[in-house]
Chains A and B, each alone.
Chain A
Amino acid sequence: MKSLILRTAANYLLPLLLLFSVFILLRGHYLPGGGFVGGLVASIAFVLHAFANGTESTQKFLAYHPGNMIPVGLGIAIIAGLFPMLFGEPFMTGLWLKDPLPVIGMVGTALFFDIGVFLVVIGVTLTIIFTIAETTK
Chain B
Amino acid sequence: MLTAVLSGFVMALVFGWAGRWMRSTAWTLTGLFPTALFIYFLTFLPVAGGDGVLFSNSWVPSIGVNLDFRMDGLALLFSLMISGIGALVFFYSSNYLKGHAHLHRFYGYLSMFMASMLGLVLSDNLLSMFVFWELTSISSFFLIGFNNNDPASRKSSMIALAITGGGGLMLMVGILLMGYLGGSFSIVELLHQTDVLRSGALYGWIIFFVFVGAFSKSAQFPLHFWLPAAMKAPTPVSTYLHSATMVKAGVYLLARLTPVLGDEVYWNVTLVSVGALTMVYAAIHALFRTDMKSILAYSTISALGIMVFLIGIGSRESLLALSVFILVHALYKAALFLLTGIVDHETGTRDVTQLAGLRRVLLPVALAGLLAALSNAGFPPTFGFLGKDLIYEATLNVRDWDWLLTALAVVTNICLLWAGWVVGVKPFVGKLPESFENVHLPSPLLWVPPLLLAVLGLLFGLFPVLISEAFVGKIHQSVYAASLGIPGLKLWHGFNMVLLLSAVTVVSGFVFYVLVKPSKRWESMLKRLKYFAPEQIITFLWQSFERFSSKYTNILQYGLLRFYLMIILLFLITMLGYKFFTGVELRFDPRLFTGITIYEGVIVALMFISIFLVVFSRSRLHAVVAMGVVGYSLCLLFMDFGAPDLAMTQFTIDTLTVVLFVLVLYNLPKYLNYSNPPARFRDSLIGATFGLIITLLALEVIQEPLNRETSKFYADNAYLLAKGKNVVNVILVDFRGIDTLGEIIVLTVAALGVFSLIRLQIVTKKNKS
A: residues with CB less than 8 A from B are 24, 28-37, 40-41, 43-44, 47, 51, 67, 70, 73-74, 77-78, 81, 91-92, 94, 96, 106, 108, 110-111, 113-114, 116-117, 120-121, 123-125, 127-129, 131-136
Contact = CB atoms under 8 A, between A and B. Distances in A.
Given A106-B723, A120-B744, A136 B733 contact: no
Contact of B725 (A31, A47, A67, A113): A31
B541 interface: no
A2 B741 CA distance: 40
Contacts of A108: 723
B722 A94 contact: yes
Chain B interface mostly: helix
A73 B747 CA distance: 12
Given A108-B723, A117-B740, A136-B666, A127 B754 contact: yes
Contacts of A110: 722, 724, 730, 733-734, 737
B762 interface: yes
B663 A132 contact: yes
24 contacts: A29-B725, A31-B725, A32-B726, A33-B645, A33-B726, A34-B729, A37-B648, A43-B656, A77-B744, A92-B734, A92-B737, A110-B730, A111-B733, A113-B737, A114-B729, A114-B733, A117-B732, A121-B747, A127-B754, A131-B758, A132-B663, A132-B758, A135-B667, A135-B762
Contacts of A36: 649, 732
Contacts, number: 140
Nearest to A126: B751
Contacts of B574: none
A41 to B, nearest CB: 6
B644 interface: yes
Given A29-B724, A117-B733, A124 B656 contact: no
B664 A31 contact: no
A30 B730 CA distance: 9
Nearest to A21: B652
Task: List the 8 closest pairs (A to B, CB-CB), nearest first.
Answer: A40-B652, A136-B666, A32-B644, A29-B724, A124-B751, A30-B725, A34-B729, A120-B744
B726 A30 contact: yes
B734 A94 contact: yes
Contacts of B721: 94
A47 B660 CA distance: 10
Nearest to A73: B744
A36 to B, nearest CB: 6
Given A77-B744, A78-B741, A81-B741, A37 B645 contact: yes
A73 B745 CA distance: 10
B737 A132 contact: no
A47 B659 contact: yes
A35 B733 contact: yes
Contacts of B557: none
